[in-house]
A = this chain, B = another copy of it.
Amino acid sequence: MAANSQFAMAVHILTLLARKGDQNLKSDAIAHSVNTNPVVIRRILGQLAHADLVASQTGASGGTKLARSPEEICLVDVYKAVSCGEVFALPSRPASQDCPVGRNIESVLCNLQKAIDRSVAEKLGEFTLARVLEMIDSEDALAA
Q: A69 near B: Cβ within 8 Å?
A: no
Q: Which residues of B contact A1 (CB under 8 A)?
A: 1
A interface size (C-beta, 8 A): 60
A35: min CB distance to chain B, Å: 5
CA distance A98 to B101 in the complex (A): 56
Q: A58 near B: Cβ within 8 Å?
A: no
Q: A39 near B: Cβ within 8 Å?
A: no
Q: Which residues of A contact B (CB under 8 A)?
A: 1-5, 7-9, 11-12, 15-16, 19, 32-36, 75, 79, 83, 86-96, 98-105, 107-109, 111-112, 115-116, 119-120, 122-124, 127, 132, 135-137, 139-140, 143
